[in-house]
Chains A and B, each alone.
Chain A
Amino acid sequence: MLLTPRLLASTRDLTLIARRIADGVGFGAHRSRAPGPGLEFTQYRPYQPGDDLRRLDWKLAARSNRFFIRESERESSVPLRLLVDSTGSMAYAEDGVSLLDAARMLAAGLALIADRQGDAIGLIAVSDAAAAMVPARREQAQLARVLHALERMQAHGRWPAWNEIESAAATGGRGITVLLTDAAEVKDEIFAAIRRLAALRHEVIVVHLAGRTLLEFAWAGAIRFEELESGRTVDVDASLARDRARAATQQRFELFERAVRALGADYQRVLLDEPLDGALRGWLRLRTRRA
Chain B
Amino acid sequence: MAFAAPLWLFGLLALALPIALHLYGRRPGRTIKLGTLRDIPTTPVARAFAPRIEERWRLLLRCAMLACVALALATPLFPSHRASGAAVVAGATIRDTDTGRQLLDSLQQAGADWVELGEREDTWSGLLRAAQATRGPLAVVGTGTAGELGQVRPSLANAVTWHVVAPSSAPIDRASHRRVVVLNGNGRSDVTRRLDAAIKAVAGEAAFTATVDWNPADESAALAPLQSQDLAIVVGSKSEPVSPARVLRLTEQEILSSDLPFRVASAWLAPEQRAGLTRLPVPAAMALPRHEATAPVLRQTAQRVSNWLFALGALLLLAERLLAYASRSRSILA
Interface residues of A (CB under 8 A from B): 89-93, 99, 182, 184-186, 214, 217, 219, 221-229, 232-237, 240-241, 244-245, 248-249, 252
Partner of B44, one of A89, A91, A99, A237: A237
Q: Complex formed: what's the CA distance from A89 to B38 in Å? A: 13
Q: Which residues of A contact B284 (CB under 8 A)?
A: none
Would A228 and B39 count as touching, CB distance under 8 A?
no
Would A235 and B28 count as touching, CB distance under 8 A?
yes
Would B49 and A249 count as touching, CB distance under 8 A?
no
Would A241 and B48 count as touching, CB distance under 8 A?
yes
List which B14-59 residues lie within 8 A (CB) of chain A: 28-42, 44-45, 47-49
Partner of B33, one of A226, A245, A249: A226
Would A222 and B32 count as touching, CB distance under 8 A?
no
Would B35 and A248 count as touching, CB distance under 8 A?
no
Q: Which residues of A contact B33 (CB under 8 A)?
A: 91-93, 225-228
Q: Complex formed: what's the CA distance from A249 to B28 in Å? A: 24
Would A222 and B40 count as touching, CB distance under 8 A?
no
List which B93-133 residues lie within 8 A (CB) of chain A: none
Q: Given A223-B30, A240-B334, does the pair A235, B45 have CB atoms closer than 8 Å? A: yes
Would B34 and A225 count as touching, CB distance under 8 A?
yes
Would B39 and A226 count as touching, CB distance under 8 A?
no
| B 48-89 to A, binary, CB cutoff 8 A, 1 in contact else 0 | 110000000000000000000000000000000000000000
Would B331 and A237 count as touching, CB distance under 8 A?
yes
Q: Given A236-B48, A244-B41, does the pair A228, B334 have CB atoms closer than 8 Å? A: no
Q: Given A240-B331, A241-B41, does the pair A223, B36 have CB atoms closer than 8 Å? A: no
Nearest residue in B to A228 (C-beta to C-beta)?
Answer: B33
**B102 to A: closest C-beta gap in Å:** 76
Q: Given A90-B35, A228-B35, A235-B45, does the pair A241, B40 have CB atoms closer than 8 Å? A: yes
Would A227 and B39 count as touching, CB distance under 8 A?
no
Q: Which residues of A contact B47 (CB under 8 A)?
A: 237, 240
Q: Given A222-B48, A240-B48, A241-B44, does the pair A233, B35 have CB atoms closer than 8 Å? A: no
Q: Complex formed: what's the CA distance from A245 to B34 in Å? A: 13
**Can you identify 8 A-B contacts, CB atoms within 8 angstroms?**
A93-B33, A222-B48, A228-B34, A237-B331, A240-B48, A245-B39, A248-B38, A248-B40
Q: Which residues of B contact A90 (CB under 8 A)?
A: 35
Q: Complex formed: what's the CA distance from A291 to B45 in Å? A: 49
Partner of A89, one of B32, B36, B331: B36
Would B32 and A249 count as touching, CB distance under 8 A?
no
Q: Complex formed: what's the CA distance from A147 to B17 in Å? A: 57
Q: Which residues of A contact B38 (CB under 8 A)?
A: 248, 252
Q: Complex formed: what's the CA distance from A271 to B29 in Å? A: 26
**A98 to B: closest C-beta gap in Å:** 10
Q: Complex formed: what's the CA distance from A232 to B34 in Å? A: 10
Q: Given A222-B48, A240-B48, A244-B44, does the pair A234, B28 have CB atoms closer than 8 Å? A: no
Q: Given A225-B37, A232-B37, A245-B39, does the pair A219, B32 have CB atoms closer than 8 Å? A: yes
